[in-house]
Structure 1
Amino acid sequence: METLAQLEALCERLYNSSDSVERAHAESTLKCFSSNADYISQCQYVLDNASSPYALMLASSSLLKQVTEQSLPLQLRIDIRNYLLNYLASKGPELEPFVLGSLIQLLSRITKFGWLDDERFREVVKEATNFLSQAQYHYAIGLKILNQIVSEINQHTVGLHATRQRRIAISFRDQSLFRIFQISLTSLFKLKADVGSKLQELSLMLSLSCLSFDFMGTSYDESSDEIGTNQVPLTWKPVLEDPSTLQIFFDFYTMNQPFSKEALECLLRLASTRRSLFSDDTARLKFLSQLMLGTKEILQTGIGLADHDNYHAFCRLLGRFKVNYQLSELINAEGYSDWIRLVAEFTLKSLQSWKWAGSSVYYLLNLWSKSVTSVRYLKSDKPCLLDEYAPKVIECFVSLRFDSLQSELSDELGEDPLDNVEVLQDQLEFFPYLCRFQYGSCSSYLMKIVEPIIQSYMKVANLQIPMNSYELSVTETKLAWFTHIVAAILKTKHTSGFSGESHEVLDAEISACVLQLVNISDSGIHNKWALVYSIDNSRVVQ
């Protein structure tokens, strides 16, 4: 490369040109920077002297590839690390965001790869903390460095052996992660009055990264909504038992800023903390009571829940209560009666807004399902109040589900709602347990809704009267959904914990409803109706 200006021009074409041939030529010419270790010093020269952000990006990304794919000498890696820290301190605030992000990723990668090789790599937390004692721009860089390091070490890097990856993660967890989490909390408290600032968001994201760390190396799917028990180390106990820790995340949520969802995600992970972390039952109950109080205030005010991301995260948080805590603990928590009433009201409102709520509502329904199945183990003298609210949830769900089936079928572009296996499975998982909790009233309500549909269906079938295909489709879809539900109820007979002669009788009654449909289904009359209607329609068109 003859001059720096030529290199900058090539980098401009590499990242910005719309001509694929021109981009390919630039990539081929600049490939040496990322594949040849002799060019590492050239990358440093570019970082020191180039004015084009694209040239800086080339140097950073080339070094990242070298560090990841080449076995560089230890001293060279230490020199690169020290250079990067000094560079970020001196020039970081002036850099374009994408260049800054790339350099921080490079620092994190070289830190990860050298973590077990030399103690100087493990001093990165201390050095990043130095940024936090400076002005706003440096403060932000320090938070970004810590966040990226947590993320970098928590995820598997291609080319790094799984065993070494795990050794690095365990060492980092034991030596540095808790300190970083404490830094994030300190920042949150310090910045609490600076509502809506970027530093608030960065501090919250750092807390979330720490709480999302794979403490046990189980490598859960980060793309999934589901999280397991959070295996927080015992050394974290004093901080998690401190009421101010939970409260700061509730406080940040109620600011109703764009980062509200992240505050709820932090609360979700705290709510998932392993039971054995707490000193005793009293400490765990205190923690639960504070969680319950915080969510109760959100339920009362509705703050932030008009945002769908917040709503979804909040439903997940509520659903976590019964996953991590026993029903007896919920009942004994302070404010339970008000909380369960508000959860019931929130569930009913969510069901009534089923189009907007989407799949989020199933976290709420699973909360109710898991709660009612625990009643038989309950030894508390305090009322659980589930017999008051659960039937209302069931009736609302059934009624609105029938309405939604009709609405979904009326959408010309929509698919058959029963073809959505995932949604149907969600319904079949929770509904049978809810139904068997108050089986008498639930089965009566089901029969009350379904019997008129069955009678009308059979009457038309017996008379063989042509029926509008849309009406036929709606009727049959409702009956098909009812059949699925009945099958699921019968399937859970021995696993629901609810049984007895009365259940046997009710099983027989709802089964009889389904069996009435067998003759019609076998006769194929419904297909003939659809055919007649299609022929009539074709004649009208002609």
Structure 2
Amino acid sequence: MSLQYESCSLFIINIMEPLLQAYTARSRLPASGDAAELSVIEGQIAWMVHIIAAILKIRQTVGCSQDSQELFDAELAARVLQLINITDTGVHAQRYQEISKQRLDRAILIFVQNFRRSYVGDQAMHASKLYARLSELLGLTDHLVLLNVIVGKIATNLKCYAECEDVIDHTLSLFQELASGYMTGKLLLKLESTKFIIANHSRENFPFLEEYRCVRSRTNFYYILGCLVFMEDGPVKFRSFMEPLLQVAVNLEASADAAFRTDVVKYAFTGLMRDLRGIAMATNSRRTYGLLFDWLYPSRMPLLLRAISLLTDEPEVTTPLLKFMSEFVLNKAQRLTFDSSSPNGILLFREISKLIVAYGSRILLLPNGTNIYRSKYKGIWISLTVLSRALCGNYVNFGVFELYGDRALADALDISLKMTLSIPLSDILTFKKLSKAYYGYMEVLFNNHITINSVLNLDTSTFVHIVTSLESGLKGLDTGISTQCASAIDSLAAFYFNNITAGDNPPSPAALNLARHIGELPSLFPQILKSLFEIIIFEDAGNQWSLSRPILSLIMISEQMFSDLRAQILASQPLDQQQRLSQCFDKLMTDVTRSLEPKNRDRFTQNLTTFRHDFRAK
């Protein structure tokens, strides 16, 4: 093994050396030389770099750590690290638009990723033999010096490849790997090249930020920078980092309403939203989220409301704005845990409500375009996601709004329901992202005592339409959506059981509304119960536990409903099987009491699993 490793390494080095010499010599020649021949050399070197990258990857898979192998890894790596210094000098610095040059730099990025995973970072063991040899060959004495070279290459790529999205994305992928590691992230902050990027993240220094084709890369770029900035405590550094974005926001705020229709202002605003979304993604604690929250609220929020009001019909503007808000209101890692005396959760929801109402009330009035998903549905599903995340984020006491006569919650729920009802159910089921957002929103609505009231206050035809859509979601192929629908139906059925069937006190207005809806369409609950049993019995659903919950709640509502369904199912089976299947139904309710207590639910779920197995047995 060792001899093969040595012979292969020497063979590769012997091929690589003359190529490097030729490439180095070419860098000193005028740009008017033979470009075709240079492209061939770049292609050959790229191929060799890929081979070296693959060899270095072996260490990750088989754990090779012999000193001799580390020495040959150093020899191979030194050739590629030497190449990094050459690719961005002389005539080569004028070839960033050439395909062969782009392929070469992507090969170098792959090499760096594999080298880093083996010899630099949180999991990599410090290899003294490798760095001793690299020190002799190139003066790279340790991790830190090598990282400075790597980050320098990252900065060069981000400066020079403004028109090549693939290289930008691959470069940012490497940068993110480095920044996300605890040890490598801390090391990066010590480097001058990293400090330069953090201090000078402007379009002048990184032209790809101005390129529309690289617009999606902006979010990732600022996510990485945010991760690095938030590794160090202190609001001073954060405010300094945010200064270029603050200037953009101030300029936008000073723009006249008419100017918002111009491409310059629209691009500046959407860029700001993408940048802020990346920074919001990097906040993963109360401290870091608080820094961004204080920067944004209250001074910057009017700009967002103004933009969504003026440009509702411009999805290229509203989509980045709503996606930023979707990230900003997400309570991941409990980052939105405000102090008990802080009103910030309520204030944040009021701003969310303003945005959703402003967008929804205007988007509903717009005519349907040729691409209705792009012009309407996409904005609607992101709006529903924003509201869903805010409603279940556990940082707002929603009872405050009704107590003090604040319409923020009621208006947000009202406009969101109008948006959902404006979309045909067939379209909801057709578009996957729309479907996920719609059913996720419905689950949140039905699971919250306050928000379920808004559904129950609807007229009966609208209420039935929504509940029927939940039944359609149950029957779909997406297990996640089926689970959400089951949860919503369970909440509705449990509400009926607790407030009407088993309720001792006078029913609330919401309960009376639900009773009225069911009274006008008594077949609604039996039809849903039938669908649930058909899925359990005849399909191989992967979420049987979730489906069992609404089944019990519906059975508890009416024993007669369950008895009728049982008779219907048995009648559909062969005569010689009916007695056996009847016994399966008898066992289903063994030891199950008339309650929805957790222990009773679990007992029923166990019985249902046995019932399904016995029912399907031949």
Compute the TM-score of the two structures, normalised by the length of structure 2.
0.58
* CA–CA separation in structure 2 for the residues paired with 1:460 and 1:436: 24
- Residue by residue, what CA displacement relative to the aligned partner does 1:163-206 show, whole Å, maximum 9, x if unpaired? xx543233333443665665443332221132xx3222111211
1:12 corresponds to which of 103, 116, 128: 103
Show the counterpart of 1:146.
276
* CA–CA separation in structure 2 for the residues paired with 1:402 and 1:299: 28
- How far is 1:395 from its partner? 1.8
* CA–CA separation in structure 2 for the residues paired with 1:63 and 1:286: 41
Show the counterpart of 2:376.
256
Q: How does 1:245-324 map to 2 (within 5 A)?
A: 245-249=356-360, 251-252=362-363, 255-272=375-392, 274-276=396-398, 278-281=400-403, 283=405, 287-288=409-410, 291-292=413-414, 294-295=416-417, 298-299=420-421, 302=424, 304-306=427-429, 307-324=431-448
- Residue by residue, what CA displacement relative to the aligned partner does 1:288-339 show, whole Å, maximum 9, x if unpaired? 3652464256336527424243233222222322322348944885x45554
Show the counterpart of 1:380.
508
* CA–CA separation in structure 2 for the residues paired with 1:315 and 1:484: 33
- How far is 1:44 from its partner? 4.8
Show the counterpart of 2:563.
444
CA RMSD of the aligned region, Å?
5.0
Show the counterpart of 2:493.
369
Answer yes or no: is the 8 Å Cα contact 2:144–2:187 preserved in 1.
no
Q: How does 1:365-514 map to 2 (within 5 A)?
A: 365-375=489-499, 376=503, 379-380=507-508, 383-386=512-515, 387-388=518-519, 392-401=523-532, 403-404=534-535, 408=539, 417=540, 420=541, 422-439=542-559, 441-452=560-571, 456-457=575-576, 482=585, 486-487=589-590, 491-495=592-596
- Residue by residue, what CA displacement relative to the aligned partner does 1:367-395 show, whole Å, maximum 9, x if unpaired? 42232134126543672333427852332
* CA–CA separation in structure 1 for the residues paired with 2:231 and 2:544: 46
Show the counterpart of 1:472.
none
% same residue: 9
Compute the TM-score of the two structures, normalised by the length of structure 1.
0.65
1:72 corresponds to which of 171, 185, 189: 189
- How far is 1:146 from its partner? 0.8
- Residue by residue, what CA displacement relative to the aligned partner does 1:413-463 show, whole Å, maximum 9, x if unpaired? xxxx2xx4x522122212212221223x313313322454689245788xx
Distance 1:131 1:46, change over 3 A: farther
Answer yes or no: is the 8 Å Cα contact 2:455–2:463 preserved in 1.
no
* CA–CA separation in structure 1 for the residues paired with 2:423 and 2:162: 51
Answer yes or no: is the 8 Å Cα contact 2:152–2:193 preserved in 1.
no
Distance 1:302 1:81, change over 3 A: same
- Residue by residue, what CA displacement relative to the aligned partner does 1:499-518 show, whole Å, maximum 9, x if unpaired? 9xxxxxxx9xxx9xxx9x9x
Gaps of 5+ in 1: 155-164, 220-230, 409-416, 462-475, 500-506, 531-542
- Residue by residue, what CA displacement relative to the aligned partner does 1:23-67 show, whole Å, maximum 9, x if unpaired? 979999999899333675665556555678477667766666378
- How far is 1:142 from its partner? 1.6
1:2 paired to 2:86 = yes
The one-letter code of the counterpart of 1:82 is A
1:109 paired to 2:227 = yes
- How far is 1:275 from its partner? 3.1
The one-letter code of the counterpart of 1:167 is R
* CA–CA separation in structure 1 for the residues paired with 2:433 and 2:200: 40
Gaps of 5+ in 2: 1-84, 120-133, 256-263, 338-342, 367-374
- How far is 1:346 from its partner? 3.5
The one-letter code of the counterpart of 1:153 is T
Answer yes or no: is the 8 Å Cα contact 1:204–1:263 preserved in 2.
yes
Answer yes or no: is the 8 Å Cα contact 1:81–1:107 preserved in 2.
yes
* CA–CA separation in structure 2 for the residues paired with 1:103 and 1:494: 53
Answer yes or no: is the 8 Å Cα contact 2:311–2:317 preserved in 1.
yes
* CA–CA separation in structure 2 for the residues paired with 1:126 and 1:185: 17
The one-letter code of the counterpart of 1:137 is Y
